[in-house]
Amino acid sequence: MAAMPFEQRRPHLEAHRQWVIDQCNCGRRIHSGYLVDEQQQPGGGGLLLFEARNYSEALSWVQADPMIRSGLVNWRLQEWIHTGGDQL
């Protein structure tokens, strides 16, 4: 599905953006964005950073993302352990 034309992807992208807004409005700490190349052109995928109590909660939550539910993206969930720098 990732190879479909942009106009066909648009509803899924809009649903994803609204889902992120809704999650933020419910109090979830989340950072969402897409990856770009050296000319700032998208196409390298995206990144979603969020807090969860454990891996199972994170997996259950992220599977509710409209882009994942629609099969629009290939994805993997990885836990991240903060060891330094600013807190997100």
> Per-residue pLDDT for 77 more than 90?
yes
Going by pLDDT thresholds of 50, 70 and 90, the confidence category of residue 3 is low
| E strands present in the chain | 30-36, 42-50
Using a pLDDT cut of 90, give the percent of the chain over it. Answer: 51
Q: What is the mean pLDDT of residues 67-84?
A: 90
Q: DSSP class of residue 18?
A: H
More confident residue, 59 or 73: 59
pTM score, whole prediction = 0.77
Altogether, the residues listed in the chain come to a count of 88
pLDDT value at residue 66: 93
